Amino acid sequence: MTEPRYQRVLLKISGEALCKAGGFGIDGDELEVIAREISAAALLGTQLAVVVGGGNIIRGATLAQRGHINQATADYMGMLGTVMNGLALKEMLERIGQPARVLSALQLTAVAETFIRGRAIRHLEKGRVVIFVAGTGNPFFTTDSAAALRAAEINADVLLKATKVDGIYDDDPMKNPNAKRFDKLTFKEVIDRRLKVMDLTAFSMCMERNIPIVVFNMKQTGHIAQVVQGENKGTTVTLE
């Protein structure tokens, strides 16, 4: 078996990864596909943590922008959406034989462990997939920011950002068929080109902590494991 390139990984997935394209909620088939992909990567021997979004459950930012709900409240509602996704992912992982734990930034002791850095690292060392939910536990921060924060806290070797496309482009590939994909970029190039990789807070944290970012298409079978092994399946962003 090939030795994984990255020994400890933080994987960021969107809530939409757990439902059909254009759908809503949690689709059991999609959930199982994602769980099996994560398990396959964990079986390589890498320590794998996951931050999951909640956009398939509720989009707090949209509610806030429309003036229906105060943004802080809407953000907390979004955090609870990530908890539901995390619980579903954990149950599916364990159903297929991969030990997993859910650690929450909010105190929800009836359904999840409260995040403690040392506890998270201990779970990883024991071969459990750790699922971080409830974002950072604070409003006005995205789950991208939560991913960067947790990656820094657990000393991850890399942050893997799973998307609907196979990397970073100079334009929207969904709209422009001539958009150019990059294999490698520096943090400075991303800033200079104003490429949208992650929100500014998350991106800045990765840059300051020298945590590489790999953007790839998670819907392609085997891609998580292949990226963990160091295969070029997307775009890698580094300091140099």
Question: What are the chain's domains?
Answer: 8-161+213-232 (3.40.1160.10)
List, for residues 132-150, the tens digit of each pLDDT value: 999 999 999 999 999 999 9
The tokens describing 50, both together, are 């996951």
Q: Which residues contact 79 (CB under 8 A, 6 or more apart)?
A: 54, 105, 106, 133, 134, 135, 137
Quick one: pLDDT at residue 1? 55
The tokens describing 239, both together, are 């300091």
List, for residues 214-238, the tens digit of each pLDDT value: 999 988 889 999 999 988 889 999 9
Quick one: pLDDT at residue 213? 97
The tokens describing 136, both together, are 């950072």
User: Checking DSSP bridges between strand 181-182 and strand 168-169, what pairing results, if any?
Assistant: antiparallel
Query: Angle at Cα 19 formed by Cα 16 and Cα 21, nearest 5°?
Result: 75
Quick one: pLDDT at residue 177? 86
List, for residues 15-40, the tens digit of each pLDDT value: 989 988 877 899 999 999 999 999 99
Share of the chain above pLDDT 90, in %: 74
Alpha-helical (H) ranges within the chain are 28-42, 60-65, 71-95, 117-125, 143-153, 187-193, 200-209, 223-228
Average pLDDT score over residue span 167-191: 91
Q: At what angle do helices 200-209 and 143-153 cross, to 10 degrees?
A: 20
Query: Angle at Cα 159 formed by Cα 154 and Cα 162, nearest 5°?
Result: 135
